[in-house]
C-alpha cells in the first residue's frame, strides 16, 4: 500500500496530498536550496508528479540550475512558505518540502545530494550516502 503524504503551508491557504510511494527522500545541499531556504540544505521528498494533488493558489519562481535545467519552486503567496519544487530535467517528478508535512516524522532521508556544495558548518549524518551532485534516477 502506498504511503499517504499530506501537508500545507503555515497559514493553511495551500494544502496538498499524495498517495504514492516516495521515489526518494534526501537532503539537498545545492547553493540554490541553501539560498531559497536560508539554511544548510533542503529536506525534500520526490514523488510522481501526477500523484500530487494541490488545493489553493501557489506562486512559482524559476531559476536555472547548475545542470542547465529549469528548477521551479512553489510558494504560498499569502505566508511565503516554500512547499514544492520541480525540474525540467525530470518532468514526471514533483518534490515536496519535508517540513511542510502534517506528519514530518514520515521524512526519513536516505542520502545527501549535492554534497559538494555542503557548508563546512553543517553536520551531515555519516550513515547516509553522499553524492557530489544528483545521483542518476531510476
pLDDT in tens, the chain (138 residues): 567 999 999 999 999 999 899 999 999 998 888 988 889 999 999 999 999 999 999 999 999 987 788 999 999 999 999 999 999 989 999 999 999 999 999 999 999 999 999 999 999 999 999 998 877 665
Does residue 32 sit within a domain? yes
Q: What is the residue range of 44's domain?
A: 9-117
Give the Cα separation of 123 and 101 in Å (integer): 23
Q: Please tell me the predicted confidence (pLDDT) of residue 132.
A: 87
Domain count, the chain: 1
Residue in the structure block whose three cell numbers are 503551508: 9
Asked if 24 contacts 131 with a C-beta cutoff of 8 angstroms, the reply is no
Q: How far apart are CA 124 and CA 66, in angstroms?
A: 22
CATH number of the domain that residue 31 is part of? 2.170.150.70
Residue at 61 is within a domain:
yes
Tell me if 45 sits within 8 A of 7, measured CB to CB: no
Amino acid at each position: 500500500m502506498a504511503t499517504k503524504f499530506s501537508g500545507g503551508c503555515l497559514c493553511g491557504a495551500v494544502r496538498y496530498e499524495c498517495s504514492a510511494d516516495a521515489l526518494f527522500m534526501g537532503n539537498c545541499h545545492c547553493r540554490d536550496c541553501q539560498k531559497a531556504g536560508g539554511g544548510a540544505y533542503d529536506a525534500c521528498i520526490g514523488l510522481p508528479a501526477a500523484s500530487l494533488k494541490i488545493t489553493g493558489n501557489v506562486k512559482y519562481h524559476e531559476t536555472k540550475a547548475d545542470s542547465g535545467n529549469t528548477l521551479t519552486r512553489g510558494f504560498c503567496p499569502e505566508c511565503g512558505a516554500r512547499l514544492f519544487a520541480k525540474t525540467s530535467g525530470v518532468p514526471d517528478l514533483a518534490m515536496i518540502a519535508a517540513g511542510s508535512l502534517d506528519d514530518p516524522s514520515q521524512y526519513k532521508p536516505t542520502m545527501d545530494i549535492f554534497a559538494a556544495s555542503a557548508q563546512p558548518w553543517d553536520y551531515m549524518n555519516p550513515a547516509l550516502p553522499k553524492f557530489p551532485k544528483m545521483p542518476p534516477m531510476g
